[in-house]
Homo-oligomer: A and B are copies of this chain.
Amino acid sequence: MIEDKNPQRTDLSQLGEFGLIDHLTKQFDIKQKSTLKSIGDDAAVIDFKKKKAVISTDLLIEGVHFDLSYMPLKHLGYKAVVVNLSDIYAMNAVPTQITVSIAVSNRFPLEALEELFDGIALATKIYNVDVVGGDTTSSQKGMIISITAIGEADEKELVYRNGAKENDLLVVTGDIGSAYMGLQVLEREKQVFQVNPNNQPDLDAYTYLIERQLKPEARKDIKELLAQLEVKPTSMIDISDGLSSEIMHICKQSNVGCNLFEEKLPLDPQLINVCEEFNIDSTTVAINGGEDYELLFTIKLEDFDKIKANPNFTVIGHMVNEKEGMHLITRANTKIALKAKGWNALKE
């Protein structure tokens, strides 16, 4: 599906390992005062001063987490950074540095890695983080990306998964389910393309969904917004594996139950249309989809007035006693036990 616009092909071994790392990382300038030592030594050195350090890591494998037949390399680089930063925002912290390790088989020319690193560089610019280390090596098969995100926060700002209390409201940012349906559209087009390579796809009706899948953004705005509204969440998590799965993480770690209301789920109109076209229940997609990189959090009931008028937030449920369990309350007012159907890489 993706045209090769760059017929140039430079073999990676021409540069050697150190030459390659130099070449790919020279575009990274230092933006953070806390970065005392960046790429080029045995390790990076960071000065968090009075702040706490927040660290998260993710491993992305070609064929498991991404498919290069419809994922442009620049988007992949961008997304790989964003999904890691999302974990830092989910702690109510601010990302400041990342390390980037890449392994590639010799099927990838230098130009492919340059595209990947262009996407990484763009993300670090937009999210204002420094690349302070990493590793570039060869793989036996496909591309492997491992990113560690580092952030900082005052201790009193940090929000964990385990602080939700009975009667707290459950709130989600943005809308959910679109990234998953974007993936379904891309998978369908891939199959059409495999049957007929001359078919030109018309993706106009799916632009929002596809963008949510290929170029997601992390919610860097939420920490400041909540601070302005003077709301501190009691618990928080980001939506990577799916809403249902993330709610269950908060409930289990906070020892509470939850009622989630189907009618409250924030769905984009394009998602609803495409779910109809695909004959898939949009609630199922919204609950189990994953990869939205929105933030899910709980707030005290008395904070409701502070957030109710804000278009970034939707109250989708409330926490109940642990004994009541975790349920979806449908539009027909039936109660269905939540299940973590989140994406499970090990069952692929």
Within 8 A of B (CB), among A143-198: 144, 146, 148-151, 153, 155, 158, 160-162
Given contacts A41-B160, A87-B42, A91-B45, contact A57 B347 (CB under 8 A): no
Closest to A97 in B: B55
The answer to whether the Cβ of A90 comes within 8 Å of any Cβ in the partner chain is: yes
Choose among A42, A146, A346 the residue with the greatest number of B CB atoms under 10 Å from its CB.
A42
A93: chain B residues within 8 A (beta carbon): 43
The answer to whether the Cβ of A58 comes within 8 Å of any Cβ in the partner chain is: yes
Q: Is the CB of A59 within 8 A of B238?
A: no
The answer to whether the Cβ of A308 comes within 8 Å of any Cβ in the partner chain is: no
A16: chain B residues within 8 A (beta carbon): 344, 346-347
Interface window among A131-139, A265-273, A278-286, A311-319: A131-139
Interface size on A, residues (CB 8 A): 74
The answer to whether the Cβ of A52 comes within 8 Å of any Cβ in the partner chain is: yes
The answer to whether the Cβ of A20 comes within 8 Å of any Cβ in the partner chain is: yes
Given contacts A42-B238, A43-B55, A93-B43, contact A99 B148 (CB under 8 A): yes
Q: Is the CB of A20 within 8 A of B148?
A: no
The answer to whether the Cβ of A199 comes within 8 Å of any Cβ in the partner chain is: no
A42: chain B residues within 8 A (beta carbon): 56, 87-88, 90-91, 161, 236-238
A40: chain B residues within 8 A (beta carbon): 161, 253
Choose one: B54, B141, B348; the contact of A43 (CB below 8 Å).
Answer: B54
Given contacts A17-B346, A161-B42, A346-B12, contact A61 B137 (CB under 8 A): yes
Q: Is the CB of A56 within 8 A of B133?
A: yes
Choose one: B45, B58, B146; the contact of A52 (CB below 8 Å).
Answer: B45
Q: Is the CB of A46 within 8 A of B41?
A: no
Question: CA separation between A90 and B162, bound complex, in Å?
Answer: 37
A26: chain B residues within 8 A (beta carbon): none
Question: CA separation between A180 and B91, bound complex, in Å?
Answer: 44
The answer to whether the Cβ of A101 comes within 8 Å of any Cβ in the partner chain is: yes
In the complex, given contacts A41-B161, A64-B103, what are 4 additional A-B residue pairs having Cβ atoms less than 8 angstroms apart?
A15-B346, A44-B56, A59-B101, A103-B144
